[in-house]
Amino acid sequence: MDKQKVIEIRKMLIEKGIKKAMERYPLIYALICFEDIQPYLVLKFKKRPTFYAIDVHDLIYSNYGLDPRIFVVGTINPVTENELLERCEFLIGNREEYERDKQKAKEASKRFLSQLNEIVESFLGQKNRQGT
């Protein structure tokens, strides 16, 4: 079986699992993408995100034997969150909230990188003043 077929089958199974999860948990939206054939899920919940992310993972693993890597919106660094929201495919849920979060993540990522550059420049400036 070729790689693309494996990805299609895994995506279909995960989509079934996410639909079940939408009925059971306060899931706002879900995105999916693949790194090689490893599925990545990006999830946003109304409350208690880490608690429910574990339940969603267990649901997918126990019903379909798949072990997706799960990222939860609002709990990862802004650069990674922006990259995942841009790269991954919208699967199910509230698209308007997803679009708002995508815009917020883009802005937060720019701020984060800007602040990181300021810290690096400050650190390098101090090293140069110290002569090392």
Position of tokens 């989509």?
Answer: 15
Provide the number of structural domains found in the chain: 1
Residue 57 is encoded by which pair of tokens?
Answer: 């993972």
Give the up-direction half-sphere exposure of residue 96: CA atoms within 13 A in the CB hemisphere.
0
Bridge partners of 39, per DSSP, are 34
Instruction: Provide the residue type at 23 as one letter.
Output: E
Contact 89, 33 (CB under 8 A): yes
Provide the residue range defining the domain that includes 87. Answer: 3-130
Listed in order, strand segments (DSSP E) in the chain are: 27-35, 38-45, 69-72, 89-93
The pTM score is 0.84
pLDDT in tens, 5-53: 999 999 999 999 999 999 999 999 999 999 988 999 999 999 888 889 9
